[in-house]
A and B are shown apart, each in its own frame.
Chain A
Amino acid sequence: MTFVTIENLSFRYSPKQPRIIDGFSLSLRQGEIVGIPGPSGSGKSTLLRLIAGLEVPETGKIVIAGRTVVDDRTYVPAEKRGVGMVFQDYALFPHLTAEQNVMFGLHRLPRQQRAGRVREMLELVRLTEYAKRYPHELSGGQKQRVALARALAPQPSLLLLDEPFSNLDEELKASIRRELRDILRQAGMTCILVSHDRADIEDICDRAVALGVPLAV
């Protein structure tokens, strides 16, 4: 049973430029974690932006959890897609604490449930004691976990991870990778992860897909 379907997706930034994504297709089962490796500039991040609704494709169709979010006639904007995303630079709001960052996406939840959900999320990423800190008071790995908690909090149907380790020290990477994998499994998330580092994908993902041709691990 496919949960996410991407069909024949194409995109270019301007009519004069060649297509950066050309006829890409992919399907995911629920709870599956798929990795997309590739050098920078190969269109990986663009693909995530298209899925999230931050860019509009030239052609193609994306269906998430049975709902068509984009095709030739439809465009569901980012805020209505229910797709979570962890940005490469984490994009934690600098004027909000870790807790407030996680709370930010919970405006649709009844007020009395929000605090509980935030606590739950911070426990999941083991940052409960850092709740009141501002982003600039957190380490790189802690920021990443806040960003993850923030993206998971509204219970998105699909989570996108854009180069989640590129801002971390080499020594930290291995342990943080394992941690991330455990959190994602625990949450049962359907994920797409892009990285220029194959090791990231081998450690975390169920399978890898190249932009263009599917390939097996």
Chain B
Amino acid sequence: MLRLSALKRNVGRYEGGWLAISLIAAALVLLPIAFVLLSLFAEPSPNWAHVRRYLLADYIAGSAMLVAFTAAFAAVIGVSLAWLVTGYDFPLRRFFRWALVLPLAIPPYIAAFTYRTMTSYTGFIQATLRNQFGITVPPGTLEVMSERGAVFILTICLFPYVFLITRTYLEKQSASYIENAILLGKGHFSIFFRVVLPVARPAIVAGLMLVVFEVLGDYGVANYFGVPTVSVAIFQTWFGMYDVDAALRLAAWLMVIVIGVFAAERFLRQHRQYASTTTQARPLSPRKLGKAGQALALGYCALVFLVAFLIPVAQIAVWAFWTYEDIWSPAFLKLIMNSLTSAALASAIVMVIAVVTARTCRSLSSAWAYGLSRLMTAGYAVPGAIIAIGVLAVFIALDELLDPLYRSLGYGDNALVLSMSIAMLIFAYVIRFMAMGYNAVEAGYEKINRSYTEAARTLGRSQTGVFLRIELPLLKGAVLSGFVLTVVEIIKELPLTWLLRPFNFETMSTRAYKYAIDERILDASLPALLLIAISLISVLVIERPFGVRKT
């Protein structure tokens, strides 16, 4: 009895509204994923037998191949570049330090059609070789296409994840280990393989996980190059057979793979937890290289930068320059507005939920808070195709549920109202990009001293009052940058928009992709260029290369 009344007293402590909103938000985030997983227990549709018998093995093999090769190449390129720009001094090092992150601004599906066209028989590379130098390359040597094209494109677009995380780690945490190894007289190679690699392993793995999730979720590149992957299959099952159940089952398979990757990473990591020796680690000071070394380092960085960023962007810019007069029109402006408004609306919802949940997490005990914050960020590791098909299934179910209401409103039998509306797309955006906004807000909250909140409460302010007058003003910067990052991610997003957009609703990314698969590459270039420009904003927000850092 005593315990019960004490329990009631303790629960009453939390302000109900905040907790309730957070729990509802978490449930909504989970709902489509739950729908996908539950489909494994439902009666399979006839199409599924066909898919399973003839296609599933190919899809899984295709996904596995893409993941394995892309991850391997991204690891080699990302880690070697990260070590070069932190460990050694050479000309333009500071420039490459952030410039090598720029390829993240190119959506992979855009890089895919750009490179394929550039390297084709009529593309500028072969044309130049033929016309200026009289060299004719045998067909199939230079062309970026099929499986190897997909691996190449995904590698140059995604290696910056490994580069960025490893570089940050090496700069901030590794100085004492590496300087000790130098003092112990180790050579360059032995330092790299015996100190840098093992010490940076958690960072490298964290970067690779991002690459793996991106590859598993990729639709644009694999579909464009005709690589059969599970993500592509989900779309083909939906667009080809309009069979939600079979698509859901495929999504469930993909989800199982994602969970497997996740569990494997956890398992491999559990025995290795490096903490820095001191909290105030000095940054690593780079060593000067000899003349030959400098030239090699510079050449390598420049080559990657050219291939992964400058050449494709220059090519797109040239195409856009040729065509902008035809493409730039009121209809194109409408496209930009569609992209901006849907992204801004979804991001605003994301930020509101993120702020409420992050605040609730702060007031909960650690285990509950951890669980809640993991739930809120779960959407990030889940491939877009899974969320797309899960959201579609949820909305179709909702429409069935609301059928009596629709009938009374005069919509007729079996009307699809919600699942034909933009609400479905916005909902999917919110789930997919919740993690982005949430992480930004959580990082912002960590910088706000808890005693501010407590002091405000002892001064007689309610939870909401404390939030509005103390926390929100201090959180402004974090919320704003989270909003910008989320808007950018949504604008360049393809698979969700492709599958869930209402009839006749197009954004810059769907238009660019549509032109690309229709082989109207030149027409795709202007939206593509705009998408890259917008994406650059988020790289600038994260990297701040010009030293604009607010204290």
Report the minimal beta-carbon distance from A143 to chain B, rounded to whole angstroms. 12
Assuming the A-B contacts A73-B5, A89-B449, A93-B456, are A107 and B474 also in contact, with contact meaning beta carbons closer than 8 angstroms in the complex?
no
Asked whether B460 lies within 8 Å of A80 as measured between CB atoms, the reply is yes
Q: Which chain A residues (129-174) contact chain B, with CB distance < 8 Å?
A: 150-151, 154
B460 contacts A85, CB within 8 Å?
no
Residue contact B451 to A87, C-beta cutoff 8 Å? yes
Chain A interface: which of B8-16, B75-83, B182-190?
B8-16
> Which chain B residues (460-488) contact chain A, with CB distance < 8 Å?
460-463, 465, 469-470, 473-474
Instruction: Indicate if A104 sits at the interface (CB-CB under 8 A).
Output: yes
A71-108 interface (Cβ within 8 A of B): 72-75, 77-85, 87-89, 91, 93-95, 104-105, 107-108
* A75 and B456 within 8 A (CB): no
Is A54 part of the contact surface with B, judged by Cβ < 8 Å?
yes
B455 touches A79 (CB 8 A): no
B interface secondary structure, majority: helix
Check if B262 is an interface residue, CB within 8 A of chain A.
no
One of B2, B451, B458, B469 near A72 (C-beta < 8 A): B2
Q: Is the CB of B469 within 8 A of A104?
A: yes
CB-contacts of B13-61 with A (<8 A)? 13
Residue contact A91 to B451, C-beta cutoff 8 Å: yes
Chain A residue contacts of B12, Cβ below 8 A: 75
Bound complex: CA A75 to CA B13 (Å): 8
* B452 CB–A CB distance under 8 Å: yes
CB distance from A95 to the nearest CB of B (A): 5
User: Does B6 have its Cβ within 8 Å of any Cβ on chain A?
Assistant: yes
Q: In the complex, A88 Cα to B459 Cα: how many Å?
A: 16
What residues of B have a CB within 8 angstroms of the CB of A108 in the complex? 460
A95 to B448, CA, bound (A): 12
A149 to B455 alpha-carbon distance, docked (Å): 13
**B10 engages A56 (CB within 8 Å):** yes
Write out the residue numbers on chain B whose beta carbons fall within 8 Å of the beta carbon of A78: 454, 457-458
Residues of A within 8 A of B473 (CB): 95
Give every chain B residue within 8 A of A150 (Cβ-Cβ).
455, 459
Contact of A85 among B452, B458, B470 (CB under 8 A): B458
A62 within 8 A of B: no
Interface residues of chain B, those whose CB is within 8 Å of chain A, are 2, 5-6, 9-10, 12-13, 449, 451-452, 454-463, 465, 469-470, 473-474
Interface residues of A (CB under 8 A from B): 49, 52-54, 56, 72-75, 77-85, 87-89, 91, 93-95, 104-105, 107-108, 150-151, 154
A-B CB contact pairs (8 Å), 25 listed = A52-B454, A53-B457, A54-B457, A54-B458, A56-B13, A72-B2, A72-B6, A72-B9, A74-B9, A75-B9, A79-B461, A79-B465, A85-B458, A87-B451, A89-B451, A91-B452, A91-B454, A91-B455, A93-B456, A93-B474, A104-B461, A104-B469, A107-B460, A107-B461, A154-B460
